[in-house]
Structure 1
Amino acid sequence: MSGRKETVLDLAKFVDKGVQVKLTGGRQVSGTLKGYDQLLNLVLDEAIEFLRDPDDPLKTTNQTRCLGLIVCRGTAVMLVSPTDGTDEIANPFIQPEGA
């Protein structure tokens, strides 16, 4: 066993590919993963932040802002997912109104 601590996630397969990152506090960014370390600090290029709804801060809107090259601190990263091969589906647990 090596003295180097390995991360739970294997992000090597996502380097130079598009990823979507959710951060603590509700922020959500998307960009090209350029690098990472064992603490899950991420370097994203061509990053875009999805702005939140002013009425409901838990929801994101279609509005975005360009951030460029950014570093996401590992302590703030909650979720990392690839942008290719993922599609949004309808929530199957929402009850129809009036039922």
Structure 2
Amino acid sequence: MDYYVFQSGRKETVLDLAKFVDKGVQVKLTGGRQVTGTLKGYDQLLNLVLDEAVEFLRDQDDPLKTTDQTRRLGLIVCRGTAVMLVSPTDGTDEIANPFTQPDGA
């Protein structure tokens, strides 16, 4: 998801991807796909070029969940219309969901 600031009739993105170039990013796409890779370039439409991209495969039973299984994609272009989230891979950790109920509760 990106946010826009409207100034003088032009649409400018608030998301500054320049600081992520040549760094690892995680990208979530519409439809539940999730990839990580090194951001090599982008444009004003949020089209992203990722190198050494790896896709996290989705669960067979729930296509919105990812599994630990991956597949290497190499150099890819993510279309801006499909990009929902871009986040750095360094400095982020996955935590347990505090809102899930333990089994038997």
Tell me the TM-score normalized by structure 2: 0.86
Name segments (4+ residues, structure 1) moved above 2 Å. 1-6, 95-99
Unaligned residue ranges in structure 2 (runs of 5+) = 1-6
Equivalent of residue 8 in structure 1, options 14, 20, 23: 14
Q: 1:33 aligns with which of 13, 25, 39?
A: 39
Contact 1:34 1:45 in 2 (8 A): yes
CA contact (8 A) 1:33 1:44 kept: yes
Equivalent residues of 1:21, 1:81 under 8 A apart = yes
By how many angstroms is 1:66 displaced?
A: 0.7
Contact 2:31 2:64 in 1 (8 A): no
Q: Against the structure 1 CA distance between its residues 64 and 39, is the aligned structure 2 distance closer, same or farther, given a 3 Å change threshold?
A: same
- TM-score of the two chains, using structure 1 as the length reference: 0.91
Identity %: 92
More strand by share: 2
Partner of 1:22: 28
Residue by residue, what CA displacement relative to the aligned partner does 1:67-94 show, whole Å, maximum 9, x if unpaired? Answer: 1110000000000010000000111111
Give me the CA root mean square deviation. Answer: 1.6
Distance in 2 separating the partners of 1:3 and 1:64: 43
- Contact 2:57–2:67 (Cα < 8 Å) also in 1: yes
